[in-house]
């Protein structure tokens, strides 16, 4: 009996010794949009660790992470909300909370998950720990109609901010008591806000308008001042042009005092002064930009494009506001994600079933992964950033 127990303990200790520790800050996920699966990846080693399947419709996806970077919350187009354990390589829980979802956010304290829904229109709030629903905020306007909700972000002060597409409104939800959210409504902000972003400092919420020119800006430091219209010449004049892929506003980026914006329908990146909100330069680029993403140190901005130019990526030099280099990494570059300190960038080449990894100093490829129809790439360092 003693020998048997000793042998069992020896086997257990050997198994533990062989187990490889895994740092949660080193992890991320890559979306396999057609299979309804994700790959968990290690961002330092540039390798895939596992695949999680059964996540539903991932044709449009966003992902947020828990404070400790252990869990990824995946928001699918079919209304699915999935909690992934990145350390145990498993789907901890999945539920379908609506008929059509457009994204989500996690609260500043990491306790609450909010999901934006097209059908039915509104926002639902869940416990990040259990995924138990704690609140339902119907996006009711007019004579009882429900609006699609877009542009949902987290904001300082345990708040969520979002737009009502059909109503032309911005709502600010205080969830310090998530069971009874306090809603502040800003009406008549402009026609058809289609997406929004939060500046990295958490101060300004900017909503793009599809139905008219300009943007709506809400200063979260003084929301009582109401919504201000800015960039009155941006957007509407481009609507007549063929737009092959509408850029998300979260494809905008800030580097220092400058805001870099993909021009809708144009082969340009717009450079805007963050304080005056005035256009200071138009940078000609290779196609219609989709994502305009700054390296973490702000020195470079990487740009990908809509078809037929989506086999290219251009690197902009922020110092000179010019194109530094044009790359042709693969077919249909859908998404880009920098490693936390920016020494590398990962590019999703959907039609090559591959993710390419580039050194951001040499601008040379340093690795790649085989991934089935990759689209979004999300690293766990996002847990430490507002508005993502």
Tokens of 96: 């379908």
Q: Give the C-alpha separation, 161 to 184, whole Å.
A: 10
The residue whose two tokens read 């847990």 is: 383
In terms of Cβ atoms closer than 10 Å to its own Cβ (0-12, 13-18, 19+), residue 353 is: middle
Instruction: Say which residue the tokens 């740009």 belong to.
Output: 303
Query: Residue 6: which H helix or E strand, with range?
Result: helix 2-18
pLDDT at 313: 98
Q: What is the pLDDT of residue 234?
A: 65
Phi first, then psi: give them for residue 328, nearest 5 degrees: -130, 75
Whether the upstream peptide bond of residue 219 has omega within 30° of 0, thus cis, is: no
pLDDT on residue 354: 97
Ordered DSSP codes for 24-62: GGGEEEEEETTTTEEEEEETTTTEEEEEE------SS-E
Cα angle for residues 243, 244, 246 (degrees, 5° grid) = 70
SS3 at position 221: coil
Whole-structure pTM value: 0.91
- How many CB atoms are closer than 10 A to CB 243? 14
Report the number of secondary-structure helices (H) and strands (E) in the chain. Answer: 1, 34
In this predicted structure, what is the pLDDT of residue 9?
44
CB neighbours of 362 closer than 8 A, spacing ≥ 6?
A: none
The token pair at 226 is 């109401």
Strands across the sheet containing 289-294: 289-294, 300-305, 313-317, 322-327
Tally Cβ neighbours within 10 Å of residue 31. Answer: 30
pLDDT along the chain (388 residues), means of 10: 44 44 91 96 96 95 96 96 97 96 95 96 98 98 95 96 97 96 97 89 90 90 95 60 60 84 85 90 94 94 94 97 97 95 97 98 97 96 90
Cβ atoms within 10 Å, residue 250 = 18
């Amino acid at each position: 009996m003693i020998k048997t127990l000793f042998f069992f303990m020896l086997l257990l200790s050997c198994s533990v010794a062989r187990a490889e520790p895994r740092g949660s800050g080193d992890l991320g996920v890559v979306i396999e949009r057609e299979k309804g699966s994700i790959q968990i990846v290690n961002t330092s080693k540039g390798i895939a660790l596992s695949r999680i399947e059964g996540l539903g419709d991932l044709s449009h996806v966003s992902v947020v992470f828990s404070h400790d970077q252990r869990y990824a919350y995946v928001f699918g187009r079919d209304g699915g909300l999935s909690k992934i354990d990145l350390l145990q390589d498993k789907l901890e829980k999945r539920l379908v909370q609506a008929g059509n979802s457009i994204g989500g956010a996690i609260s500043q304290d990491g306790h609450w998950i909010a999901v934006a829904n097209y059908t039915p229109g509104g926002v639902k709030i869940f416990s990040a720990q259990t995924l138990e629903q704690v609140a339902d905020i119907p996006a009711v306007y007019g004579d009882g109609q429900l609006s699609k909700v877009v542009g949902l972000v987290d904001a300082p002060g345990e708040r969520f901010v979002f737009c009502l597409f059909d109503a032309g409104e911005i709502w600010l939800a205080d969830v310090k008591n998530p069971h009874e959210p306090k809603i502040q409504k800003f009406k008549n902000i402009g026609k058809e806000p289609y997406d929004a972003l939060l500046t990295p400092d958490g101060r300004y919420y900017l909503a793009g308008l599809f139905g008219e020119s300009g943007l709506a800006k809400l200063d979260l430091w003084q929301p009582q001042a109401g919504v201000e219209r800015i960039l009155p010449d941006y957007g509407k004049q481009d609507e007549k042009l063929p737009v092959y892929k509408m850029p998300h506003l979260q494809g905008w980026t800030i580097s220092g005092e400058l805001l870099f914006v993909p021009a809708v329908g144009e082969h340009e990146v717009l450079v805007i002064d963050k304080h005056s909100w005035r256009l200071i330069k138009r940078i000609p680029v290779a196609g219609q930009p989709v994502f305009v993403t700054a390296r973490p140190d702000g020195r470079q901005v990487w740009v990908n494009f809509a078809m037929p130019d989506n086999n290219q990526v251009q690197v902009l030099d922020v110092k000179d506001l010019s194109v530094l280099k044009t790359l042709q990494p693969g077919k249909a570059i859908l998404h880009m994600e920098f490693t936390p300190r920016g020494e590398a960038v990962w590019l999703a080449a959907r039609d090559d079933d591959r993710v390419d990894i580039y050194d951001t100093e040499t601008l040379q490829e340093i690795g790649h992964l085989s991934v089935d129809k990759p689209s979004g790439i999300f690293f766990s360092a996002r847990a430490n950033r507002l508005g993502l």
